[in-house]
């Protein structure tokens, strides 16, 4: 069939609609999802079962090419699920992300002109400071196939991860082969190696390698574990944390029931905005340090913190925003449901000589009530919720508290727009939205927005 791409879905794949006659002569709609295509392109596509109402297929041929189409530089692009837009010139990606944010807030009744152009990267490659690779049952190392979490694409390179991180991951892949170690089979729930996490501070250079396995590195695995230590410490002196983490749970997540430090310590040091952070294997920290710094700068610029003011940092994590703001306000209270993150935030504040912070391990709604009772009404509130958003109850609680200024850091334009709509009834006006591209060649976009309480 020949199809024209009229839009992209939330996974970055092209969408097309074809009207055709069924056996009774009635028109039926067939909705097509065609990855690696761009809006306006005409493509040739094969539909094995045209009687279906929906179908997903790769294009056989691009008949009319988008002017911003480019050759993807990664040899794994067509199969690997790590990126979806390497075939799109970077400026086109940025325009799409700006439009996504505009459409999201316009759908909630806000003026799309409040959205500025997305801030991109000068060099949108090798930007990630953390990657989670997966072992296939045969022991090969890679990333999941696009749309198929059962299949792992063995990798020779990765153009979005830091170069040294990729080199270290490839060394682990060689180590796996040399010892003929099995990977984990998700269907049979057997096999040894599950994931490899690599994270590196672009500021300090320190690197962490964490191997997730179903057994401890003892007995018959001791020789292999000792060889891994020798290989890594010899070739990668920047690895300051080499971990073996036991994970026997059926869930396909990088989690640990027992940790073994093979070499170095169980954390690495990173820096942002001049502040030092300790990162463990399960610490959430922005994965694009260059653009994360821009998020912090924008939040400070919009929030205009003053030394006479109090501030609440909701969903504070390990203090990524808390520490830069704490030095600019009188008092800061951080709220985060993950207890280990709160412990890290306290430790990070102490490491940086910051003593005007209070951190509370509570869910956002209960935590904000507790802080407001003991802390009082802050002039400034910042929130950086997960992709699911803060939710109506939390936003209405913020609205009733009436801080003068609210800075919302978003990683999902759609939930962001729904959240801020809740604040209108409490007298807040959206002033500006600045999208920032933290994940080039993917559909994801972050944004920083300012809302001000009307006089």
Catalytic residues: 411
CA nearest 204: which of 258, 247, 241?
Answer: 241
Contacts of 360 (CB under 8 A, 6+ apart): 333, 334, 335, 336, 342, 367, 370, 371
Strands (E), 214-319: 239-246, 258-264, 268-272, 275-279, 310-314
Helix (H) or strand (E) run with residue 162 in it? none
- Residue 287 CB neighbours (<10 A): 17
At 212 the three-state DSSP class reads strand
CA nearest 401: which of 364, 445, 359, 347?
Answer: 364
CA nearest 195: which of 233, 249, 239, 262?
Answer: 249
CA nearest 164: which of 224, 228, 226, 237?
Answer: 237
**428 is written with which tokens?**
């807040």
Distance CA 176, CA 170 (A): 10
Helix locations, 137-238, DSSP H: 163-178, 222-235
- Residue 82 CB neighbours (<10 A): 23
Distance CA 324, CA 202 (A): 19
CA nearest 326: which of 302, 300, 344, 301?
Answer: 300
Distance CA 135, CA 140 (A): 6
């Amino acid at each position: 069939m020949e199809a024209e791409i009229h839009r992209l879905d939330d996974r970055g794949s092209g969408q097309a609609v074809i009207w055709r006659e069924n056996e009774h002569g009635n028109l039926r709609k067939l909705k097509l999802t065609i990855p690696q295509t761009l809006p306006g392109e005409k493509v040739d596509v094969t539909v094995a079962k045209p009687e279906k109402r929906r179908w997903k297929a790769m294009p056989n041929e691009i008949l009319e090419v988008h002017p911003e189409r480019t050759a993807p530089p990664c040899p794994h692009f067509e199969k690997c699920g790590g990126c979806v837009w390497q075939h799109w010139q970077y400026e086109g990606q940025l325009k799409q992300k700006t439009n996504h944010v505009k459409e999201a807030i316009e759908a909630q009744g806000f003026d799309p002109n409040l959205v500025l152009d997305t801030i991109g990267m000068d060099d949108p490659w090798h930007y990630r400071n953390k990657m989670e690779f997966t072992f296939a049952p045969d022991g090969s190392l890679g990333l999941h196939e696009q749309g198929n979490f059962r299949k792992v694409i063995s990798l020779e390179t990765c153009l979005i991860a830091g170069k040294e991180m990729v080199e270290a991951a490839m060394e682990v892949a060689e180590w796996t082969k040399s010892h003929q170690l099995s990977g984990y089979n998700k269907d049979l729930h057997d096999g040894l190696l599950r994931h490899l996490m690599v994270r590196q501070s672009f500021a300090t250079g320190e690197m962490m390698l964490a191997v997730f396995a179903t057994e401890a590195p003892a007995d018959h695995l001791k020789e292999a574990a000792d060889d891994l230590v020798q290989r890594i410490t010899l070739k990668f002196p920047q690895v300051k944390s080499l971990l073996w983490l036991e994970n026997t749970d059926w869930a396909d997540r990088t989690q640990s029931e027992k940790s073994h430090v093979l070499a170095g310590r169980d954390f690495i040091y990173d820096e942002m905005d001049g502040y030092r952070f300790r990162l463990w294997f399960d610490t959430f920290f922005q994965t694009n340090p260059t653009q994360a710094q821009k998020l912090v700068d924008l939040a400070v610029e919009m929030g205009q913190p003053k030394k006479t003011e109090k501030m609440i940092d909701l969903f504070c994590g390990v203090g990524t925003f808390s520490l830069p703001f704490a030095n600019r306000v009188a008092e800061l209270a951080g709220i985060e449901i993950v207890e280990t993150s709160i412990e890290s935030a306290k430790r990070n504040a102490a490491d940086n000589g910051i003593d005007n912070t209070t951190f509370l391990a509570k869910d956002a709604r209960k935590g904000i009530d507790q802080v407001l009772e003991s802390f009082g009404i802050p002039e400034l509130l910042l929130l950086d919720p997960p992709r699911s958003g803060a939710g109506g109850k939390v936003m209405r609680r913020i609205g009733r508290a009436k801080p003068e200024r609210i800075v919302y850091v978003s990683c999902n334009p759609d939930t962001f727009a729904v959240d801020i709509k809740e604040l209108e009834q409490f007298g807040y006006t959206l002033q500006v939205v600045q999208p920032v591209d933290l994940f080039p060649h993917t559909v994801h976009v972050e944004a920083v927005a300012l809302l001000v309480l009307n006089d």
